[in-house]
Amino acid sequence: MTDTVTLPTSPLLDRPRAVAGEGADAGVAAHYGDPGREQRLLEEGLAVVDLSHRGVVTVTGPDRLSWLHSITSQQLTGLAPRVSAESLVLSPKGHIEHVLHVVDDGETTWLTVEPGTAPALVTWLDSMRFMLRVEVADVTASYAVLGEPLSAASAEGEPVAWVDPWPHLVGDTAAYGPETGHPGEARRWRELIVPRDGMEAAVGDRPLAGTWAAEALRVAAWRPRLGFETDHRTIAHELDWLRTAVHLHKGCYRGQETIARVHNLGRPPRRIVFLHLDGSGHLLPEAGAELSLDGRVVGRLTTVARHHEDGPIALAVIKRNTPVDADLVAGTVAGAQTVIVTP
């Protein structure tokens, strides 16, 4: 999923009690000494999360929005300045390759992407430019992302911000999970894009929360993440990702046939579920662990977290026909299902 990218060390890792993350979230703080308190501060709208390991890509030129519209899954033509969108880059067979957090400031379209994926995305975008008036640049070395528990777009004169539309249905799309009463409705989230040398000023005197806290709230909101809930064969329907990232009746784009075929004629082969894990033991299973039912492997854990109220929780991707009332087992740890995508 990722290329090797060397970024400047985040100045926020020098803050007291900062513990660096690992894996996909290396380079920023996993926590600052108290992940539970950090979750509460995020829920209260008070804290900020260092996401400076995310990639930042710019697209400029008069054809930028119509071009991105033509090659990705979301309706992007006519996107107003500072209005946010989410769009997917799909393989020819409809598998998810990139997730684009899209916001335009009137002159430049800003894309934030998963850590390490910007170089591959830029290479692909450059290969698709043809004769159009667009320029693509990886500006990750110059710009950083800060996660904020806010749902408001940035105002004129402020740094541009991508506001997460999850879990609301965006445009002409479909829900594979609940349309009302979704737990993600309580989560407010946006990504502020700031110059790297202005990170500390943008944080100001606000408390910091680490990625562990942000990930726990993401799991509780059933929010999928590229490279965690996805693998090389994931289609959007399996993760209920059509609701925010796919327009069902726009022009043809790579992977569109799979989107239409599965939506119109069938059901996805797998489905995402939320799990409450048994927390009576000292250790939790890790992401990637196999999930079994009666000794038969039916899926895998994708993200595991400790929620400050609900305890150990997880997202998992399992076979569609797995009984919805069955408890699943990862190693010696049982997990009770909550259905997200209806079988």
**Residue-level pLDDT at 1:** 44
Q: Two tokens at 327?
A: 């408890």
Three-state DSSP class for 52?
coil
The Cα 102–Cα 89 span in angstroms is 12
User: In the β-sheet with 55-60, what is the strand arrangement from edge to edge?
Assistant: 84-90, 96-104, 108-113, 55-60, 135-138
Do β-strands 328-330 and 55-60 pair in parallel, antiparallel, or remain unpaired? Answer: unpaired
**Residue-level pLDDT at 266:** 86
Instruction: Give the predicted TM-score (pTM) of the model.
Output: 0.96
Give how far the C-alpha of residue 279 lies from the chain's centroid of Cα atoms, to the nearest Å: 26
Check pLDDT > 50 for residue 136: yes
The Cα 324–Cα 121 span in angstroms is 37
Q: Two tokens at 109?
A: 């379209």
Could you tell me if residue 231 is left (phi over 0), alpha (psi between -120 and 50 degrees) or otherwise beta? beta
Instruction: Give the residue extent of every domain in the chain.
Output: 12-262, 269-339
- For the stretch 181-199, pLDDT in tens is 999 999 999 999 999 999 9
**Residue-level pLDDT at 2:** 45
Closest C-alpha to 275, from 307, 323, 309, 315: 315
Check pLDDT > 50 for residue 142: yes
Question: Which class is 269-339 in CATH?
Answer: mainly beta
- For the stretch 14-56, pLDDT in tens is 999 999 999 999 999 999 999 999 999 999 999 999 999 999 9
**Residue-level pLDDT at 5:** 57
Number of H-type helices and E-type strands within the chain = 7, 18
CA within 13 Å, CB half, 291: 28
Check pLDDT > 50 for residue 113: yes
Helix (H) or strand (E) holding 36: helix 35-43
- For the stretch 321-335, pLDDT in tens is 999 999 999 999 999
Q: Which CATH superfamily is domain 12-262 in?
A: Probable tRNA modification gtpase trme; domain 1 (3.30.1360.120)
**Residue-level pLDDT at 282:** 81
Quickly state the pLDDT bin for 8 (edges 50, 70, 90). Answer: confident
